[in-house]
């Protein structure tokens, strides 16, 4: 649905990102229909929480057949299973290792982090930070979306520490990363506030 059509008669979403459930891909059978990067496939999945507990599985037809493989994790909504996107295991500190950042208007960022000690203000700030992190992850995963947004080199030239074995087990090797060739150099003369991707 295009933005103009939606804004003519907006409606609330049925589910948001915080309500998604993690599923594990058991089997992927492409149907042969391919449209651009989308591959139609019949996919058998099971809730991650059900593994080892019961044999419940779901049979789903999805356009994500080109990126989902047996053993992959993805998120979906329930009770009807609709595949939303592939889930990549990310450590909480992974966001601190981003080599890129966005620029924000200073007023916008200050509105979000206003110095208010009330519980509601803290909850609003936590929700805004969660939503912002989901947006950053969406940028990493969606190459077309990145083409509409300026991403800047973060300027952190510190070498990355080698990952230990536990980190390698928890993180998805296939997790998308943004290449250095997609990043712009810093522009010092703009009145924008740096907002590094430190979570």
- What does the pLDDT look like over 84-140, one tens digit per residue? 777 777 655 555 678 888 877 665 555 555 555 677 778 888 888 888 888 888 888
- Of the ranges 38-42, 135-139, 177-181, 185-189, which one carries the lowest mean pLDDT score? 185-189
Query: Residues 6 or more apart from 36 whose CB is under 8 A from it?
Result: none
Structure-token pair, residue 3: 């933005």
CA–CA gap between residue 173 and residue 177 (Å, rounded): 10
Is the pLDDT at 191 greater than 50? The verdict is no
What's the pLDDT at 29?
96
* DSSP-H helix ranges across 42-183: 106-112, 119-141, 143-146, 165-170
Q: Are 24 and 75 in contact (CB under 8 A)?
A: no
CA distance between the termini of the chain: 31
What's the pLDDT at 6?
87
Q: Minimal CA–CA distance to 63: which of 80, 87, 44, 84?
A: 84
pTM: 0.51
- Of the ranges 17-21, 125-129, 171-175, 184-188, which one carries the lowest mean pLDDT score? 171-175
């Amino acid at each position: 649905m295009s933005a103009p059509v939606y804004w003519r008669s907006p409606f609330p979403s049925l589910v948001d990102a915080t309500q998604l459930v993690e599923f594990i891909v058991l089997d992927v059978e492409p149907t042969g229909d391919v449209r651009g990067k989308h591959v139609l496939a019949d996919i058998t999945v099971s809730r991650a929480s059900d593994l080892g507990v019961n044999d419940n599985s779901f049979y789903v037809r999805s356009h994500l057949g080109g990126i989902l493989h047996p053993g992959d994790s993805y998120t979906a909504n329930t009770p009807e299973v609709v595949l939303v996107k592939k889930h990549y295991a990310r450590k909480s500190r992974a966001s601190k290792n981003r080599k890129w950042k966005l620029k924000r208007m200073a007023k916008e960022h200050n509105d979000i982090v206003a110095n208010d000690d009330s519980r509601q203000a803290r909850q609003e700030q936590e929700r805004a930070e969660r939503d912002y992190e989901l947006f950053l992850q969406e940028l990493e995963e969606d190459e077309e979306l990145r083409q509409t947004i300026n991403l800047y080199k973060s300027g952190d030239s510190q070498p990355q520490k080698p990952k230990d074995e536990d980190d390698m087990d928890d993180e998805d090797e296939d997790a998308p990363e943004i290449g250095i060739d997609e990043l712009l150099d810093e522009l010092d003369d703009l009145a924008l506030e740096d907002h590094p991707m430190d979570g």
